[in-house]
Structures are given as structure tokens and as C-alpha cells.
Structure 1
Amino acid sequence: MKSLRHAATVGAIALAGAAALGAAIGGALVLRIAREVITPAPRKNDTEVLAVDTGAQTIELGRTPDTELPGSYGLYVDGTPGYVKLGAVLHADGGTVRRKLLTQIEPGAEIGRHAAFSGYYYLAPSELHLPYESVLIGTPAGPCPAWLFPAASTTWVIQVHGRGATRSECLRAVPVLHAAGLPVLVTSYRNDGEGPRTRPGSYGLGATEWRDVDTAIAYALRHGAERILLMGWSMGGAIALQTLVSSDHGGAVVGMILDSPVVDWRTVLRYQAREMGLWDPLPQLAMDALEQPWSARLSGADQAIAFDALDMVARSAELDVPILLLHSDDDGFVPSDASHALAAARPDLVTMPVFTGARHTKLWNYDQTRWTHAISDWLGEHGFAD
């Protein structure tokens, strides 16, 4: 009997230990997922370069949902060019895609096998052949570099790039906005690799970055702006929406353009978790961790993140300006569900033309003509074009 009691005690201790170990492992996994959500990540190679023909100026790539897209794109490559522009798909067969090179590659240039496909297309403002100046915007986190493309109108556009991106992401929109006579301010923000770094160096998913955009609004108002349009790409859409509902200068904002925006983070994070093979309750537990001050700090966050406050479908009644919402139903990274839900909740404010086929933040690349007309028509309809 004594031996049985001893065995039972040992067994209970073992089970308790196993449970504690499991809880510790589970907790560590949850914090790791939470950290992934808010940690800026370097650009990842996602494309394989199979061959380059410098005579025909073509490049052969491994076939992926991105590399087979029609349109014009960019490609970060290992080797001499660093970055090249890609044109039309010339041939797609099995696992390969051959595209036209729009950047001249000289014979003998070394290009590695690993590359990163990009929707940026333009990297530097000088490529647009428009007048611009580099400015610094003082924000609560520190000075944020920005590009200012001047024009005559007192209605300014402030562009906000997305997660893991830089200001270059926004350059595609400058020509159509400038053609409408609008000055365009393309700003950076904290922890994006160009703006100032806070101590943890993490994203706030819009909950903190909006303060930097708020300062950009103040800068524009001091330099001749009377009305502001906000344009946000991906997470930049979440930042722009938070700016609208949180800023003391929100009254100056008269409209918004959102490209592939994050409208509700819960929808996005659950989708991305499923794509990685992580199912509930892990995504929800990670979000719960980011909502609690102590676990948010353990995850590397500046502060706790209130996901209810970032759900702009639930807060749609607070919106009071016209919104042009551009989002492909084949986004592949930020699902369009929440965008459609916002359009359904506020049909009086939201214009959402249907786009399909394009991938995340690549609507301009996929169908530049339709994307450009959607913006210019909306600007004219609401009296924003000069």
C-alpha cells in the first residue's frame, strides 16, 4: 500500500510537472507569436532567379503567385544591380516564369539565385522626375524623414507606408496625386527603419504610429495646407484610420485613400496564422498577450495594444469623411473581408471598386490604368482635385 501511495505521489508530481512544462512551452510559443506580430522584420528572399538573358533582356524566375502576375514590378537581387524593374510576363510554364527586364543588365553582371519580389517599382523620388525636397518632421519619438512633392493646392496628401515597408512603397501614387494638383508628403514613422527607433523598437500596429502622422499633419498645416487627405498602404491604412479618430488635427482631414488596408487586425492575424498552420486558440492567445501590459512588455511591445480600438469596422460610426478603399479580393496577405465589412457598414462614406487578381499592395502594378482612374475619378467627384 505504501509503495502504491508513493507511486501515486510520484505520478501526480510527474503529471503536474508535465502540465507545468506544457504551460511554459505554450506560454513561450504564444509570446513568440506575439513578438513576431510587432517586430519589424528584414526583407525576405521569396523568389528564385533561374536565368538571365542579357541579349534579350529577360529574366527567368521560379513560378509563384507573385512572379506570374501581369504588370510591372521590382526585384531585389543579390549581385551587381541590387534592384531591377520587371515588365510583362513573356512565358509561364510549369515551375518557371520568364519576364521582360525593364532595367538594362549588362553582360557579365553577377546576379545571385536568391531574390525578393516587390511591388515598389520606384525606389527613389528622383525616378518620378517631379520636383521634391527631403524634409524632417519632428515627432514625439524623434525626427522622421519625409519627401515633399510641392504643388499649388492647399489640399495636401499625406502618405503612410505599411508594415515591413519603407517610404518607397508610396511613390507609385505620387504621379496621379500630383497630376491632380495636390502636394504630397510621404512620411516615415517610428521603428520603420528610416524614422526614429523607440527603446523596444517594435510596431504598435497603428496604436502608437498615428502620433507621428499627427505631427506630419501639423507640419503640413504650418506650411500652407488647409485640408488633408490621408493615404495609407496596408498597416499604413490602420495608422491613417487611427490618426483620423485620435488626432487633435483630425478636423483638418477631409478624406482618405486606403490601399490594401488593415481595417481590423484580428481578421488579419487569424488569417496569417492559418496560412502558417497555426490555429486557434494560438492567434487569440497572442493577441491577448499583447493586450496585457506585463505580457506585452515580455513580447517586446512599447505598450499594451487594444485590438478593440484598432477594429474600425466596430468603430465605423466614428468615421466622418469620404474614403476610397482599394483592395484586391486575391490579396493573399491582408484579406479583404474587413474592407468589405467597412464598406457595407458605411456605404455613405466608402467607395470600394471591386479588384481581383492583384496581390497585396500590388493593385497599381497589376492594373495601373484602372487603379489610377479610380483615384483621379474619386478626387474629382469629391472636389479634391485642383
Structure 2
Amino acid sequence: MKKRIIIIFSVLFVCLLIGLGYGVHYLFDFAVVSGEKEFIKQENTVKLEQKWKFSDNHLEKIKIKSNDDLSLSARLISQEKQSKKVAIVAHGYMSEGYAMPDYANMFYEMGYDVLVPDNRGHGESEGKYVGFGWQDRMDYQQWIEKMIQLNGEDIDIVLFGVSMGASTVMMTSGETLPHQVKAIIADCGYTSVADELSYQLNDMFNLPSFPLIPLTSLYTKVLVGYSFYEASTVEQLKKNKLPLLLIHGDQDDFVPTEFVYTLRDATKGSKQVEIFKGANHATSFKTDSKRYKKLVKSFLSDYLN
């Protein structure tokens, strides 16, 4: 009898390990491996082409090499007369710079040269895995230096991002940045990769975060080089002293609206929170573009010439 119980428990334990292994591998492929995702809506290519018309004759492609030897690509839209104001615009999860014409145009109309990178593993940039802003923060330091090289030492830079891009620029804010970086604008960013994936695991699959998130985090650390827990926007903001504008929709069902208040409380610089009523995830601009543009312009007028 005792031997039979041991065999049963051994079989159950092996089945549990196999199940967890499958779950970890599935979640890793689902979230971290770069590629098309069924739950991400792709924008109409024709509409995007039309929205980029403002950049005709002013757009060029530039590239850098990341610290881990990936070729990273970006779109640079320059004013007819080179500007001393530069906006670096970061896109969202499994998107690309090409999907950001509304924001690029907003800054261009305000007189900025605009750099729109493709994050590693997205668009025309190399990479097999999603950095979720954590690995990308080092790339954005290089993009900042690239713009200083191109436009000169006497420039002002604003970092702007939406969704994963918002967390990318906030994570970048915790690093040592040159004095040319004056302000940050983050639209619907998450508090940490662990928090966001835990939320999605529950929302999409009705599963608790433990043990899949810790195990997948460990798997990601071994395979990609970072864990979900170290990839914390909150911890990076605790080192940030730059002014921060936080934007979020009150109907966001992808990155919970309450995240914005945790981010607000974490940053050490001056801060401003703006909630767009009726806006879902990354739709604040579409919900009220007039207010959005006015808000961004007003915020930056206090920190950039």
C-alpha cells in the first residue's frame, strides 16, 4: 500500500513538473519571443502611409549597434532648418516606429526634430526577444547620444512613449543621462514587467501569477538576460529627477489605470498626471487629440525653450 502511494505521488509530481514546464515555455513564447500576437491589433497600412505624408522629403533611416551587437533602426524626421529641440518617440509592445505617425507629427508640428526608433525585436531592428523597456533603456541611451552627435551639444531632448514605450522611457530615466534630456512624457506605462504579465495572466487565462511568473522570469533571465522583477519602472523612477507627465485612460483594460498612481508616487522629479475619460489602452490621443496636443505643448513649455 505504501509503495503504491509513493508511486502515485511520484507520477503526480512528474506530471506537475511536465505541466509547469509546458506552461513556462508557453508563457515565454507568448510574451517574450518576438513575433505577431493574436491579441495585438495591427493598424491599417494604407492609413499609416497617409498619416506619414507630413514627413515627405524630411525622413531618413538611421541605425546604431546595441551593446550586445544588434542592429537597431530608427526613423528621423528633421525640420527644414535643423531644430535645437528633439523628441524621441517610443512605440508599444509588438508594434514599431512606423505605427507612431500621430505622435511624430504632433512633435514635428511643434518644431521638433523627431526620432522614432524600432525597439529591439520590433520593426526593422534585430532581436529575437522583447526587452519590455528594460533592455531597451540602454539602447535609448545610445539613441540620445546619437541625436546629440547629429544636432549638436546645444539641444533639448524630450523622451516620449506609449504603453511599453512609456515604460521604456521611464526605465531610461533611471540611468545617467546627459543634461540635454529635459523631460519625459509617458502614456499608459506599466509599473514592472512582473506586474503587467501577472495582470495579463489573470485577465486572459484566469491564472494566478504564482508559480508561472517567477518560473518564466527565471527562464527569461537564463535565456535572454533579464528577469521580470528587475525590469521595474517603479525602481527606475525612484532614481529619476526629470519632470514627468503621466497620461492614462480611465477605461484601460490592458495596463490598469491604477498603475499610473504608483508611477506618480515613485518618481523623484516634478510630476503631473492627466486622466482621459473614456479612453482605453493607448487611445487617449484618439479620444481627445486637441486636449492631448495642448497638454503636451503646455507641459514642455515649462522645461524646454
* Shorter-chain TM-score above 0.5: yes
- Output the amino acid matched with 1:272: Q
Separation of aligned partners in 2, 1:15 and 1:43: 38
**TM-score, normalization by structure 1:** 0.70
Find 1:19's aligned residue among 4, 7, 13: 13
Contact 1:34/1:289 (8 A) holds in 2: no
Q: Which runs of 5+ in 1 are unaligned?
A: 1-6, 48-73, 77-82, 86-121
Residue 9 and residue 45 in structure 1: after superposition, are their counterparts in 2 closer, same or farther (change >3 A)?
Answer: closer
1:123 is displaced (CA, Å) by: 4.0
Higher strand share: 1
> What residue in structure 2 maps to residue 208 of structure 1?
135
1:148 maps to 2:76: yes
CA 1:262–1:240: 2 relative to 1, 3 Å:
same
C-alpha spacing 1:250/1:38, structure 2 compared with 1 (3 Å) = farther
Paired residue for 2:281? Answer: 360
**Cα pair distance change 1:171/1:289, threshold 3 Å:** same
Corresponding residue of 1:160: 90
In structure 2, the partner of 1:245 is: 174
Asked if structure 2 preserves the Cα contact closer than 8 Å seen for 1:210 and 1:243, the reply is: yes
Is the contact between residue 70 and residue 126 of structure 2 (CA under 8 Å) also seen in structure 1?
yes
Unaligned runs of 5+ in 2: none
1:374 maps to which of 284, 295, 298: 295
Alignment partner, residue 350 of structure 1: 271
Separation in structure 1 between the aligned mates of residue 204 and residue 302 of structure 2, nearest angstrom = 42
Q: Which residue of 2 aligns with 1:103?
A: none
- 1:254 CA displacement: 1.2
In structure 2, give the amino acid aligned to 1:355: F
2:187 to 259, 263, 266: 259
Alignment of 1:286-325 (within 5 A): 286-292=212-218, 295-296=219-220, 301-305=223-227, 307=229, 309-325=230-246
- Supply the distance in 1 between the matched residues of 2:145 and 2:50 (Cα, whole angstroms): 25
Query: Which among 184, 190, 196 is matched to residue 114 of structure 2?
Result: 184
**SS of equivalent residue, structure 2 residue 151:** coil
> Contact conserved, 2:62 with 2:76, CA < 8 A, in 1?
no
Name 1:91's counterpart in structure 2. none
9 and 318 in structure 1: CA distance in 2 versus 1, 3 angstrom threshold: same
Alpha-carbon deviation of 1:178? 1.8
Find the aligned partners of 1:124 and 1:186 in 2 and give their Cα distance: 17
Residues 217-266 of structure 1: CA deviation (Å, up to 9, x unaligned): 111010114332111111112221222223x5444321111122123223
Give the corresponding residue for 1:218.
145
Higher helix share: 2
In the alignment, what sits opposite 2:247?
326
Q: 1:318 offset after TM fit, Å?
A: 0.8
Query: Contact 2:237–2:268 at 8 Å: present in 1 too?
Result: no
Q: Which protein is bigger by CA-based radius of gyration?
A: 1
Deviations 1:271-317 (A, max 9, x none): 2112113332xx2433322443xx2267xx4213252x332334433
- The change in CA–CA distance for 1:21 and 1:228 in structure 2 (over 3 A counts) is same
Please tell me whether the aligned partners of residues 163 and 236 of structure 1 are also in contact (alpha carbons under 8 angstroms). Answer: yes
Whether contact under 8 Å (2:27, 2:216) holds in the other structure is no
Deviation at 1:34, TM superposition (A): 3.3
1:174 aligns with 2:104: yes
Distance 1:190 1:173, change over 3 A: same
CA deviations over 1:333-352 (Å, ceiling 9, x no partner): 11122212222344852211
